[in-house]
Chain A
């Protein structure tokens, strides 16, 4: 197994760092999967993280000027590592002014992702800083846990309102209740509702628009076949999970969508130019 990537462009380094930082706000540990064309940050839904799962896909070409990898074998040309994104994010954040940053898989006292940066200095030689981020190699037999999630058979798919606005609403609601109802319909309407013994609050969004998934989206042939576009699908989720997702977002995505499977799961999709992030929040009973 070998991996070596090099980033020279400052903007790419910045962008990559921001992605890793966003991931670090969503989870304490995750799986980094490396293939010849992509990097994936994966969190598989388990009871321990409240059933939340995440899939973040990056095109390596958009970030790395040099990228070489050799997987476990030629048949399975991938590497799966368990890593703490916070460690990686911190290491990257300190080297934003570097002339170049290399990320490689190394073995020190244990398997590590080494971030080696060349920093500009006033003297003749440049300074090299290395951060050895410990990782754990995930054996091939466990790889099936980290496959790309299947698009759920959603009842409603809708564009999200601006994330900042959403975050403000959710932040306020969090003070009142632990559970939030997200409901939306195929007519561009979305409501966020909370209910306690003393008070109920709901925020209504209109004219959000619905993504045109077409026939290849849902397995049933498309939500347009479900009839009444006014019909609301809803799911009740733990508000903290939604808040955690929103807190981490640092850049406005080009597209932000939400798919709801009625009383089952909320599937959030954020698309940036070269990064896509999917986040699944299960509905509470």
Chain B
């Protein structure tokens, strides 16, 4: 395998690696005919990211026909190759990636100015295929925004914040931080802001609902989008269904798939949508009359975001079982041998997505009960093979 990246694309590749490092500790590399795939997943399997660099991204992309190779590396070591992107931009002319199967190494050679060659030999481990399957087209809500809009939005939330909730209506999106339990509510700062439809390049909402997902991984994608200036497309569906974030251009495609809180969670929350002023508030001084602890809820001037009617809860109650996930992982192994020429299966193999936070009965990873599962009958057999 020989891949050569030149010029500005070296920085793009580096940025992708750094972006993936926000997801998980390991980088899965899979050279395919349609391009080089770099992927990562987090330990609780609630976030997955993949970048596919088409052959045209490279100044040279040659992989042996029928190469069926995939491996994983410690992402920190790959990050070392692309450390200090600013310097990279100025000094690196090209980056050569080679595979040494005998020594189990991937070699990254940076050709820098003044004839300087920096060679990094990174050992890899064989790995199973890592591919979340998801269906963007079946998502009810799609919108696309310039990265600047999204970066300006997340900047208002502290970096330590875990989760954020998006609430959608026809013309607006409310973004607020999600506070898990009642005790925290009295101590935590609640931040909320509203984005209007016209701030987006594309805003197509069919389903009014609220989706909650982890901000950390979202920021990972924004890191990449902002530096490349590519617009971000978000595909959202029901709560519990993963949210997909995409950046694409002619030579690359990046997808971040993040788990969302499932629906039964929203029943527990009182309708918070009412208590924030969504539109330009008129002089609301009089509404803020506060009298020695006896105050009624501050009622909003504009209609608050609606909360979707929860679908039946039966499917969503099961707590995540760790051994269940391991079972599905080996199922992946089984299916990994699929024909590389077939375009990746877009149906979401959602078995990954477990809890981000410590397991709680509310949070469930069970949307797959409502979706078609591939090879479902073989699961029981796999249990022993584990």
Contact = CB atoms under 8 A, between A and B. Distances in A.
Interface of A: 1-4, 68, 72, 87, 90-91, 94-95, 104-112, 116, 118-119, 121-134, 137
Given A1-B291, A122-B199, A131 B191 contact: yes
| Main SS class of interface, A | strand
A105 B189 contact: no
B190 A132 contact: yes
Contacts of A122: 149, 199
Given A104-B288, A105-B290, A108-B275, A128 B158 contact: no
Contacts of A72: 292
Nearest to B190: A132
A123 B196 contact: yes
Contact of B189 (A90, A104, A126): A90
A68 B193 CA distance: 25
Given A123-B198, A125-B280, A127-B195, A132 B288 contact: no
Contacts, number: 98
Nearest to B291: A1
A129 B193 contact: yes
B290 A107 contact: yes
B20 interface: no
B194 A124 contact: no
A230 B169 CA distance: 75
B179 to A, nearest CB: 10
Given A2-B289, A91-B189, A128-B194, A107 B276 contact: no
A126 B198 contact: no
B66 interface: no
B156 interface: yes
A3 B297 CA distance: 17
A4 B192 CA distance: 19
B212 to A, nearest CB: 18
A124 B198 CA distance: 8
B217 interface: no
Interface string B289-306: 111110101100000000
B280 A2 contact: no
A119 B295 CA distance: 29
Given A4-B285, A121-B199, A90 B290 contact: no
15 contacts: A2-B285, A3-B288, A104-B285, A106-B290, A107-B298, A108-B190, A116-B277, A118-B280, A123-B196, A127-B199, A128-B193, A132-B189, A132-B192, A134-B187, A137-B293
A104 B152 CA distance: 24
A77 to B, nearest CB: 14
Q: Chain A CB within 10 Å — which of B188, B189, B292 has the most?
A: B189
* Among A87, A109, A119, residue most surrounded by chain B Cβ atoms (within 10 Å): A109
